[in-house]
Amino acid sequence: MLLTSNLMFLVYSTLSNSMLMNRLGTMTMMFTFMTYMNSMSMVSLTPGMTMFNNWFKLTTYNLPLTYLMFGMMMMLLLYNTTNVKYNLKSNFYMLLMMSNMMGLMLLPLVNDLLTLYMMMELQSYSLYLLTGLHNKSYNASRASLLYFMMGGMASVMILMGSYYMYNMTGTTNLTDMSLLNDMMNTNNNNNYMNLSMKDYFDMMVMALLFKMGLAPLHRWSMSVYNYAPTYMTAYMSMVAKMSMGCWLYVNSNLFNNYMFMMFFYVSLLMGSYKPLYQMNMKTMLAYSGMLNFGYVLLTMMTYDMSFYVYMMQYVLTHMMLFMGMLSASEYMEKPMTKWSPLLYMHQLRLPNLTLSFMLMLALFSLMGMPPLPGFYAKLYVLTGAMQDNYMLETCLMMVCSVLATYYYSNMMKMLMTSKNDNKMLEVNNINSTNAYMLSMCLMLLLTFFMYLPYLLEGLYIMMM
């Protein structure tokens, strides 16, 4: 469906204006989502099903997250269907977005090293292009180029890893590999080969984590997120990580935990410590995303449903923060640039108190204040980690989350000052569509504790 609409859009994009394109594209996505919802009926197929000659595998493990991703993308893309003050519209946006989405949605389902590479490139290339879409902006082109270089490097590593793996096992299929892996585990005398297979997987994991921009290989991603226009940052800082993370989670029985462990430690430390001396909102949010993904790495190691709970809270809070930032751009009288009007923390004095309250709630959730989703997510991660006896990791998690609280609370204090700011109350309000989306997010955030039990039940059944 996405492919078809993509082709259609190729034709359309030559002759219509950008707003129409964006709206049409979003509607297409909604239809696709509805169709995709039908795949829920395959839950009863216990091991999942494979598609396209075992290239893709749709299981109950990757289904929830792809739904989540889809929903999030739609909500984020709705921003582009509205008229805003700093208007950034392009004819090619939807086109690229469609191809990107194809890559993103298919990546978690990948069951073959070749398709892994293909899907990875499909989503990466479209992201490179999307980043540089506004080539009038020097920063955006810079980000795009940097992204391209770094992403290319990671892709080469993936390719190399797959080559070695193929060389050794004679197959590119992941199911075959996991079978092989099991076999190796049972007969212990041939230990050498087993070890080296895991090593090559380590290489791929490292490349993927590099692409996700987790510490210690995170410097490039911070600058990319910072340079790109805000609405692009919102999109790419979340989705790329999510789809790759989901693939890693689904196939985590193939990997060693060492690599995850290393990235977990460093991401946590970096994500909590680095933003302490940052003034740049986008960088801070990027670091906070990294910190949250550090927690997610822990759930990958423990391999339980806290992964989904954490992902939900991550998506919800970060989406709210980014959408709030985008909406707050309306009030920027002296924008930093046209592409990212709200860039620094001191710009968070907003005349719209409801908006600042929403942002504060999202930040509270990130801090882990009950009864917001952040708390539950943290509780489940902690419980899961304790179950598997990751003691030191949980302690580090706590220390880091307190460190992170400090910069969240700094942002909050900045937001709070908007209360005392009575001037410029009479300015244009945010677009009603955006306001609607934001309030929907807020409702989801506030009532999380009500629907969480149902979600958990569902996840439990799916993961049985």
Partner 1 sequence: MTLTLLSVSTMTSMMSRMMKNKYKEMMLVSSMLMMMPTLYEWQEVDTYFRTDGMADMLMLLTVYLVPLSMMSNWNNMKDMLYYELMLNLGMMLMMNFMCQDMTSFYMYFEASLAPLFMMMGLYGAANRDKAADYMLMYTLFSSLFMLLAMALYEVMLDNTDYEATSMMFLSMELQSMLFMAMFMGMAVKTPLSPVHTWLPVVHSESPLAGSMLLAGVMLKLAMYAMMRLMMPTLTLATLLYTPMMYMLCMMTMMYTSMMTLRQTDLKVMVAYSSMSHMAVCMLGMFSNSMTGLTGSLVLSMAHGFVSPGLFMMVGGMLYDRYHNRLLHYYQGLMTYMPYLSVYFMMLSFCNVGTPLSMNFMGELLSMTGTMDRAPLLGMLASFSVLLSACYQMKLTNRLTGGMKTPYLHLTSDVTYRETFLLLSLMMPTMYLGFFPNWSMDFLWSLTNLMYTMY
Which residues bind to partner 1, rule: CB under 8 A? 360, 364, 367-371, 375, 378-379, 382-383, 386-387, 394-395, 398-399, 401-402, 405-406, 409, 412-413, 416, 419-420
Question: Rounded CA gap, 289 and 319, in Å?
Answer: 11
Cβ nearer to partner 1, comparing 371 with 458: 371
Q: Using an 8 Å Cβ cutoff, are 155 and 120 in contact? A: yes
- Min separation Cβ 417 and partner 1, Å: 8
Cβ nearer to partner 1, comparing 100 with 352: 352
Longest dimension (CA), the chain: 77
Cβ nearer to partner 1, comparing 2 with 379: 379
Cβ nearer to partner 1, comparing 63 with 350: 350
Query: What's the Cα-to-Cα distance from 406 to each of 30, 277, 288, 310, 366, rounded to whole Å?
Result: 39, 11, 12, 21, 11
Q: What tokens were used for 454?
A: 């149902």
Q: What tokens were used for 302?
A: 């423990």
Cβ nearer to partner 1, comparing 54 with 409: 409
What stretches of 51-112 show up as alpha helix (H) in DSSP? 63-78, 93-106
- Min separation Cβ 385 and partner 1, Å: 8
Q: What tokens were used for 89?
A: 């519209």
- Min separation Cβ 80 and partner 1, Å: 33
Cβ nearer to partner 1, comparing 308 with 364: 364
CB atoms under 10 Å from CB of 426, counted, come to 6
- Min separation Cβ 130 and partner 1, Å: 37
Cβ nearer to partner 1, comparing 243 with 410: 410
Phi, psi of 20 (to 5 degrees): -60, -45
Cβ nearer to partner 1, comparing 216 with 371: 371
Kind plus residue range of the DSSP H or E element containing 23: helix 18-37
What stretches of 56-173 show up as alpha helix (H) in DSSP? 63-78, 93-106, 113-131, 138-169
- Min separation Cβ 455 and partner 1, Å: 18
Give DSSP secondary structure letters for 409-436.
HHHHHHHHGGGG--TT-SSPPPPHHHHH
- Min separation Cβ 369 and partner 1, Å: 5
The one-letter amino acid code at 45 reads L
- Let me know if 157 is exposed, middle or buried by CB neighbors in 10 A (0-12, 13-18, 19+): middle
- Min separation Cβ 379 and partner 1, Å: 7
- Min separation Cβ 457 and partner 1, Å: 16
Judged by DSSP in three states, 59 sits in: coil
